[in-house]
Every structure is written in structure tokens, then in C-alpha cells.
Amino acid sequence: MNDLTAGKPQPSEQTLLTHPDFELGQYIPFVYHFHMLADEARMGAFQKAIAATVRSHHVVLELGGGTGVLSYFSAQSAARVICVERNPELVQAARRFLSVNTNGARVQVVQADAFDYLPPCPVDVVICEMLHVGMLREKQLQMIQSFKARYLAQFGLPLPRFIPEAYFQAVQPVQQSFDFHGYVAPGPCFQDPATPQPRTRELGAPVLYHAGSYEDVIALDCSWTGQLVMAQAGHFNALRIITKSVLAVLVQEQRTIDWTNQYLVVPLVQPTEVAPNELVTVGFRYQAGDPIAALQPRLIRP
Ligand SMILES: C[S@@+](CC[C@H](N)C(=O)[O-])C[C@H]1O[C@@H](n2cnc3c(N)ncnc32)[C@H](O)[C@@H]1O
């Protein structure tokens, strides 16, 4: 038996491997958390957004705390932080790391499924970083949607402030090289947004396909059909998916603190040659939290 499944009907060892709680995204291996800790853009943006949002009287709740780093950032200003994590290996690690970090004692690490958990009192700020490009794999949108419904039923308004506050998702037509030392393998590729991508030719500007604010009703359906304008000729064989989160809106300073997930490039089902100024209609269907394979962009012929 594993604590991940404590209190629930126990699957056999065979079915455990295919249990949805163990799919990549729901379960993120411990070593992978160190890539996230080493991701300067992610860490810097969250640290700044938390420092700009959290005040000394605040109670902060983090959903999906991992190694506890965002709770640690919060503890530098907050009165109290509750860090909820489901994976027992990470719960242990977070407790260990927090015990040797400044103000770590202000963080209470709770082992629980955040889909069930409610804090014992109203909270001022909720942090949730279950963000994956395209809102695929991880359950960020479902988590906030579920939390809001349960929180309102228990405590009523006002809702806490959310970090992130909002998200924007865009698609960009690209010509992608899937040639790896002469071996052609069209498949999904991740890209660092801050690094030049020699395998990618941008054929047109990104177009928004899905967006939302966490304080509003959250749309889980990310399906889209729309037109992309080609800025140059090329072999249109893939879509680049761009997901940007607004971590904090600083109204007085008239700016936002943003973070962009790694880009995802997915091959088109039927590539096509395109000309400058050509309008190409593309469509795909998926729900937030679906596996990457659910995103299969297709050309829609007139
Ligand atoms: C992308 S990681 C982020 C970890 C940490 N917040 C950070 O920024 O480094 C998402 C975390 O959410 C946890 N998680 C996923 N689903 C969860 C659930 N239903 N309940 C509690 N934690 C969950 C995962 O185990 C993982 O540690």
C-alpha cells in the first residue's frame, strides 16, 4: 500500500501502474523537481509575484507544494503557510528542506489530495503551480475550479487571491525540423522560450485560442478552430503551443509579473506548403488535463 492511495479502494499492483494518479503530470518524479528548482525564469517570476502579493497578516495556502519552495517564498512575508502535497516522498522532502530554511517553521506541510483538502480557516492567498504547457497533463484548471466551489460552500465570499491570477494560450504556425541525424521522427517537442530554436521557422504570428482569469468561471475545454495568417512561405508542418501565466497584476505599477511555460511543438496531422498572406484554418480538440497525445492539430480544408 502507498500513501497516495490511502483511504481509497486499493488497486492491484498491476492496475496501480495505470492508475490515473500515477500518470506523468499527476505524479512528478522527485528528481524532476530539481529541474523546476533550477528553472531561473520560473523561480524568479514566482518569487517576485509572491513577494508583491503576500502581506505579513496573510494566511497562504499552496496546492501541490512539491519540495515546498513556493511556500518558503510565502513564509518570508506571511503569518502562516499551509502547503498541501499528495506525494509522500515530496512531503518528507519538503518538511526536511523547510526545517533548514529561514522561516520554514511558518510552513505546515499537509499530506493530502488537494482535490479533497480545505483549510481549517479562510485564507488570503492560494498558490497553485500545476501548470503544464497547453494546460495539458497537469490538473491546474480542474484544481482551482474544484477548490473554488468547495471553498465558497464552506466559507463564502470573498475568494482568496490566486497566484497565478490568469492565463493566456496561443498557437503559432511553424516549420519544424523533425530530422534527428537523418532519422525523421515527427513528434511533440519542448522548447525553452528564452533560447533560440534553430529547428523552428516561425511562419506566422501567435494567435490566442484560450484564456481565463482564475477568479472567473474556468473553461476546461481548450478546443479551437481558427485561421492563421502566414507571414512567409514554408512547409507548415507543426503548431507551437504557448502558455503564459500572469502570476501577479501590479495595478499601481501598471505591470504584470508573467511566466511562460516551455513551448510545445506538435506536428500537424497533414502538413502543407504555404504562401505569404495565405489564411490556413486549423482545428484541434482537447480538455485541460488531457495527455499531450490528445492534442492532434488538423488542417481544415475549405
Ligand atoms: C509542477 S509541481 C510544482 C511543485 C511546487 N509547487 C513548485 O513550484 O516547485 C506540482 C505538484 O503538485 C502535486 N500534486 C499534483 N496533484 C496533486 C493533488 N491532487 N493533490 C496534492 N498535490 C498534487 C505534485 O505531486 C507536484 O509536487
Instruction: Supply the pLDDT for residue 166.
Output: 98
Specify whether the CB–CB gap between 242 and 112 falls below 8 A. Answer: no
Report the C-alpha gap between 87 and 66 in whole angstroms: 8
Q: How far is the CA of 38 from the centre of ligand 1 (A)?
A: 16
pTM of the full structure: 0.92
Confidence of residue 3 (pLDDT cuts 50, 70, 90): very low
Is the confidence at residue 54, as pLDDT, over 90? Answer: yes
Report the C-alpha gap between 187 and 246 in whole angstroms: 29
Q: Please write the tens of the pLDDT for every residue from 128-151.
A: 999 999 999 999 999 999 999 999
Does a cis peptide bond (omega within 30 degrees of 0) precede residue 297? Answer: no
Q: Regarding predicted confidence, which is higher, 71 or 25?
A: 71
Is the confidence at residue 183, as pLDDT, over 80? Answer: yes
User: Best mutation site among 28, 116, 141, 144 for ligand 1, i.e. most ligand atoms within 8 A of its Cβ?
Assistant: 28
Ligand 1 atom at minimum distance from 68 CA: 5
Is the confidence at residue 14, as pLDDT, over 60? Answer: no
* Structural domains of the chain in order of their starting residue, each with its CATH number: 3-129 (3.40.50.150), 166-299 (2.70.160.11)
Confidence of residue 11 (pLDDT cuts 50, 70, 90): very low
Q: Please write the tens of the pLDDT for every residue from 184-221.
A: 999 999 999 999 999 999 999 999 999 999 999 999 99
Report the C-alpha gap between 195 and 198 in whole angstroms: 9
Instruction: Supply the pLDDT for residue 1.
Output: 35
- In short, whether 67's Cβ falls inside 6 Å of ligand 1 is yes
